[in-house]
Structure 1
């Protein structure tokens, strides 16, 4: 009710009070019956007029309230224009990420993992030292895997369009651990999808991210995992997807096995995937076809490579599931375990021979309660090196066992610890072991 309406109603009430009080005063001045009857009739007429005005005001107030209730709410009472004026009409913007603190106590029995290397930040089996002296325990702490992402979703010409950009802080040191601990921003994903098509950088179509265990480590079962993000063009129709992806070849040099990369490919990596899913979980099988190539000023060598990967998740019930992956073929190098093995070996004449590899993992997840859950998993990778080409100093196999316990005091916050035992073996038979306690605090937003 506004101020004018309150004033009118107060005036009506005052008038009625004065009208009622007036006869008492009149009786004191003139007590004749004729005068009293005339005064009463006049007061009755005044009361009827005042009542009519009050009823009319109530009806007007009710009509105004009904119109206000029926009127649609303002489209945007705070902001009259879109956040991004250049965006397509109706675009929905989203933002999220997480803050993650990692702390690791690491002990190795055959040398020290180099300071500042990736192996000090998360589990990378190729960095397990072999052939050195027993080392003490090192403590490393960082927040480099904290993450931000931005999304824009719209519908244009009847097709859903999505733009997605994700980054973390694993972009290399810009400061030092003495004072600033500054790190650069790294692009993880940057793509656009419309309808069945996708173009940009994201997970390889050869990889099954949904099968990865609930690990505290950045990856977890690294040896047995297909793990690549690269630029690609992908088409998906129903359960089938096919992609053309950026190629790159890693080669073990003849005689030494020393690793080098070649960007001489002129044919993209081709992947084909089939996915089947239901309430029971999911199952997927993917194929990979590649060109391995290396050029010098005087020669050009190439080799074809093919691989397959089977993976999935099987729900055992409301509180348990099994996750798995099994991959095999040749030329798997850069797709497997952060390049634990090369794609190809170089012969004495410079020609390339694709390296055969087999890898996989199995993981069990159990949920004790909404606050507590645990995961146990085993991971392994093996390579069929031709030691006449590579020598005995290359990796023959690596394996690891992980067990973790994660506590969520409230949704979106995880506090956990993971025990990791890893082992790497060379073709010479020499081995190196790593024991690690990896702890984290992670808040999603």
Structure 2
């Protein structure tokens, strides 16, 4: 029987009981005038009223029981749902099967006023190809782009008794500076292993002074490579990282991956250092040469507000790892005739002015060895490159940043043009507006 029918039955019984009560009262008032037979009838009526009361009480208890049975599943549902609320991930983290997925990225506007130097293709650093004075310069020009806008996903999920993590990050700086989507990072981590594409183990950006320019300035590198990497912590503060990398050197044929090694050392709370090395076979048909390089980077915190970064490279026979380098290999036909060799350094001081404002003063320099065989084969190769810059960043709130930067640099080639020109200038002001999510 439904709850509704029970309620209607109980109501009917209640009305009947009230009516009978009035009848008994009426009969009681007339007891002196009735006969013995009437008294017997009244007694029987009272018994019937008592039975009605008991029946009503029974119906009331039945209604209470059914109501409890109907509502209890609702409470059960609430109990089932409660664990979901307890493990709800933080803001910005999604749950996909057993994996946690964090979405992040930024919307970034870059603008630049090029007073001297530059080209039509892009506004980011191009110090190694800026036009020489009087040779097809594109000066006094404004440019802007949102190509450095990026989006990324961080993954994490349990596998047996371990955790597998990964990253997928993209921006729009593909295709020679056009607004084409490209992969920046795509890799997974398991225990001490990394497989995929991320920062090169040799050319790390950790020790480059901060810049607005998305590609950085001369002396540093923003190289990302497909690789297999293994990291081993020898003791707290000491770590060895080895990797086999594909440097994507389009000037040669690749038969073997590049081998890289890096030693990370933390000294106290204020000093971090990194010693790196690299070796890679350069091959053109049956001609083979080995390129190699070393790097040393350091970051020192003078105070919580002031820090120094410096990075140094010496490389022979390679142009794929360190940015802005001459071609590592010069060939004639299928023969390798010379290898490039250079030293580069970048250094900068960063100052935190307050909780919302910071600034950097930096300098970068690259010098190539004067190998006559190399110069004859590639007369317009660069002899020296340098850049100096100063910037300031302002973040009114955590997710929004504005930046302003001035950079001046020069390029000098080994062999002058017919008019005697050997130098070109990079003279520009850059601006940044960025929203992080």
Task: Tell me which interval the TM-score lies in, with the shorter structure as reference length.
Answer: 0.7 to 0.9
Is 1:330 equivalent to 2:330 in the alignment? Answer: no
Mean Cα deviation higher: 199-208 or 325-334 = 325-334
Alignment of 1:166-185 (within 5 A): 166-172=169-175, 183-185=179-181
Is 1:375 equivalent to 2:359 in the alignment? Answer: yes
Taking structure 2 as the reference length, what is the TM-score of the superposition?
A: 0.74
Is 1:102 equivalent to 2:110 in the alignment? Answer: yes
Aligned length: 398
Deviation at 1:172? 2.7
Indicate if the aligned counterparts of 1:240 and 1:272 stay in contact, CA closer than 8 A.
Answer: yes
The residue that corresponds to 1:273 in the other structure is 262
Q: What SS does the corresponding residue of 2:180 show, helix, strand or coil?
A: coil
Alignment of 1:218-297 (within 5 A): 218-220=214-216, 222-238=217-233, 239-247=239-247, 262-276=251-265, 280=269, 283-291=272-280, 293=282, 295=284
Aligned mates of 1:127, 1:161 — CA distance in 2: 42
The residue that corresponds to 2:417 in the other structure is none
Taking structure 1 as the reference length, what is the TM-score of the superposition?
A: 0.72
The residue that corresponds to 1:356 in the other structure is 342
Mean Cα deviation higher: 10-19 or 145-154 = 10-19
Aligned to 1:316, which of 300, 303, 309?
Answer: 303
Deviation at 1:307? 0.9
Deviation at 1:62? 7.0
Judged with a 3 Å threshold, the aligned counterparts in structure 2 of structure 1 residues 406 and 388 are, in CA distance, closer, same or farther, namely same
Judged with a 3 Å threshold, the aligned counterparts in structure 2 of structure 1 residues 351 and 68 are, in CA distance, closer, same or farther, namely closer
Indicate if the aligned counterparts of 2:193 and 2:231 stay in contact, CA closer than 8 A.
Answer: yes
Is 1:113 equivalent to 2:113 in the alignment? Answer: no
Aligned mates of 1:323, 1:20 — CA distance in 2: 96
Alignment of 1:19-34 (within 5 A): 19-20=17-18, 22-24=20-22, 27=25, 31-32=29-30
Q: What SS does the corresponding residue of 2:147 show, helix, strand or coil?
A: coil
Indicate if the aligned counterparts of 2:132 and 2:424 stay in contact, CA closer than 8 A.
Answer: yes
Q: What SS does the corresponding residue of 1:406 show, helix, strand or coil?
A: strand
Judged with a 3 Å threshold, the aligned counterparts in structure 2 of structure 1 residues 46 and 241 are, in CA distance, closer, same or farther, namely same
Indicate if the aligned counterparts of 1:93 and 1:153 stay in contact, CA closer than 8 A.
Answer: yes
Deviation at 1:433? 3.5
Aligned to 2:149, which of 124, 146, 149?
Answer: 146
Aligned mates of 1:337, 1:373 — CA distance in 2: 30
Judged with a 3 Å threshold, the aligned counterparts in structure 2 of structure 1 residues 377 and 191 are, in CA distance, closer, same or farther, namely same
Is 1:90 equivalent to 2:98 in the alignment? Answer: yes
Aligned to 2:58, which of 30, 49, 55?
Answer: 49
The residue that corresponds to 1:339 in the other structure is 324
Aligned mates of 1:127, 1:18 — CA distance in 2: 105
Larger radius of gyration: 2
1:364-401 deviations in whole A, cap 9, x for unaligned? 142633xx232313031231421644258623131221
Indicate if the aligned counterparts of 1:292 and 1:331 stay in contact, CA closer than 8 A.
Answer: no
1:288-334 deviations in whole A, cap 9, x for unaligned? 232463547xx7352442312223464833xx352513213232853
Q: What SS does the corresponding residue of 2:427 show, helix, strand or coil?
A: strand
Aligned to 2:391, which of 392, 403, 411?
Answer: 403
Q: What SS does the corresponding residue of 2:119 show, helix, strand or coil?
A: coil
Judged with a 3 Å threshold, the aligned counterparts in structure 2 of structure 1 residues 435 and 19 are, in CA distance, closer, same or farther, namely farther
Q: Which ranges in structure 1 are unaligned for 5 or more consecutive residues?
A: 77-87, 175-181, 250-260
RMSD of Structure 2 on Structure 1 (CA): 4.1
Deviation at 1:129? 3.3
Indicate if the aligned counterparts of 2:108 and 2:149 stay in contact, CA closer than 8 A.
Answer: yes
Deviation at 1:60? 3.9
The residue that corresponds to 1:190 in the other structure is 186
Aligned mates of 1:158, 1:60 — CA distance in 2: 43
Q: What SS does the corresponding residue of 1:185 show, helix, strand or coil?
A: strand
Aligned mates of 1:434, 1:301 — CA distance in 2: 37
Mean Cα deviation higher: 128-137 or 231-240 = 128-137
